[in-house]
Structure 1
């Protein structure tokens, strides 16, 4: 008798517990929906901002490539004269401090590791992101680092300041290899290497020995060519970064929309189950009466 009298109370308690668990789950789903919806608003806004900046970055890149074309003509027929000793190489990685742009920084780090594995040298890095990635793998190779560059479209003054710091504190080098991201299209980029030789190597080059040039002239020419190359790499890398950030924010917004649709379906099913259980309880109670 006692067991029979307790059994209905246990059933009622079990049903109440299931309903409370269902409501708790619905509240959790609703909170997740709200969070994902807020994230989607942020990523969508960041995509719009990146799209606006990309137009300016592409325009600046087209102008900066003229400097790069002038450098290519300068070094087109210039090669480092062969010697018994291997040339001293300084690698300059060009990136930025910003995140939320996909694998834009990892691309530079991988390219530098690959280049230094083939031809060891010293290292200078522009940007905190590649610096932190490379510091774990080759901390002894660093000569000079730069940050707070690339927040807006880079200028030639910034490139000149970087070139001047490299000349002063970059150590001895015969050739600089600038590793930066090359802008291919609005949705793609790839890492590339641009070479710049020192004033001493420039004087010893076969293409320049045919002319009588003063030492100061070749030195100024080498420094100006280095600033040109850095400026071109900065502006093109900036355009590639903005493009990658726009793509990353678009993908994040699409993923958020997919997650919201899934959560909304899960919420609707849970809500329908709770309503069905409540209707069953009402009908069962009415039938018992």
Structure 2
């Protein structure tokens, strides 16, 4: 009877040890699968960071060229002392893109646009890019007059901007005097800020106090109006594209660092679990040898 009790006890302990090992092995398998998944994600984010770094360099070169032309137009308006007329109708243009994985750069534009529409509920809106459109459309769907997609996949060209400007200016159903451009301003490779610029009609420019200091012909005023609007719009597009590429590079860098930290934690957890399984197996071997 004593022998049978000892054998039954040993069998029960062995069954518990086998069940514990099975559970530990299942846990280790899950950790190993998750470790492989995070490692693959880390490789993807590291590759996307390298691609974003290359695109950021190209976008900065294009941005510097667009800034030179944009600042000339901006200095011209400032030196002429052009001011917004009282009661002028304003068109809001939100300059965004279709791409994601770049942090909160689109959310910042959407918040600024919604804040403006909260104070000007009847203002028409033109949105460039699907990311800002989705967020603005939830609160102010009736204000959106136009939305342009397929923007941000590459560096915006002046021809593309001219086509967008022609659609906006040729549509007589959109009644506006001034245009307010909301865009992301490139500050540095790791920082951006949401800014805005005003586009004034040519009649307000002609009525400016210091505009008489310039020599001009009457037949070129309409061309000047279209050029200033298109030039500012192109400046905002290229500036926003550079800020987006820099934000995407920063986001992918942070994602790679977070993946590395998670890999270290999972590796430590896996090694501890594996060591515990080996220790239990050694205990069973030693216990069996001692029983014999």
TM-score normalised by length of structure 2: 0.92
Which secondary structure state, in structure 2, belongs to the residue aligned with residue 97 of structure 1?
coil
Single out whichever of 276-285 and 167-176 deviates more from structure 2.
167-176
Q: Does 1:54 align with 2:25?
A: no
Which secondary structure state, in structure 1, belongs to the residue aligned with residue 186 of structure 2?
strand
> Structure 2 vs 1, CA of residues 126 and 209 (structure 1 numbering), >3 Å: closer, same or farther?
same
Residue number in structure 2 paired with 1:281: 284
Once superposed, what is the RMSD of the aligned Cα atoms? 2.1
Gaps of at least 5 residues in structure 1 are: none
Whole-Å Cα distance in 2 between the matches of residues 95 and 81 of structure 1?
Answer: 28
> Structure 2 vs 1, CA of residues 245 and 211 (structure 1 numbering), >3 Å: closer, same or farther?
closer
> 1:1-289, aligned counterparts within 5 Å?
4=5, 6-76=8-78, 77-82=81-86, 86-120=87-121, 121-169=123-171, 171-208=174-211, 216-289=219-292
> Structure 2 vs 1, CA of residues 211 and 101 (structure 1 numbering), >3 Å: closer, same or farther?
closer
Asked whether the equivalents of residues 81 and 204 of structure 1 are also in contact (C-alpha less than 8 Å), the reply is no
Whole-Å Cα distance in 1 between the matches of residues 216 and 58 of structure 2?
Answer: 40
Shift of 1:236: 0.7
Shift of 1:200: 4.2
- 1:150-202 CA-partner distances (Å, limit 9, x unpaired): 21111111111111111123701011000000000110000001100224444
Whole-Å Cα distance in 1 between the matches of residues 216 and 64 of structure 2?
Answer: 32
Which secondary structure state, in structure 2, belongs to the residue aligned with residue 69 of structure 1?
helix
Gaps of at least 5 residues in structure 2 are: none
Asked whether the equivalents of residues 92 and 123 of structure 1 are also in contact (C-alpha less than 8 Å), the reply is yes
Asked whether the equivalents of residues 82 and 204 of structure 2 are also in contact (C-alpha less than 8 Å), the reply is no
TM-score normalised by length of structure 1: 0.93
Instruction: Report the number of matched residues.
Output: 286
Shift of 1:214: 6.8
Stretches (4+) displaced over 3 A: 1-8, 199-216
> Structure 2 vs 1, CA of residues 212 and 43 (structure 1 numbering), >3 Å: closer, same or farther?
closer
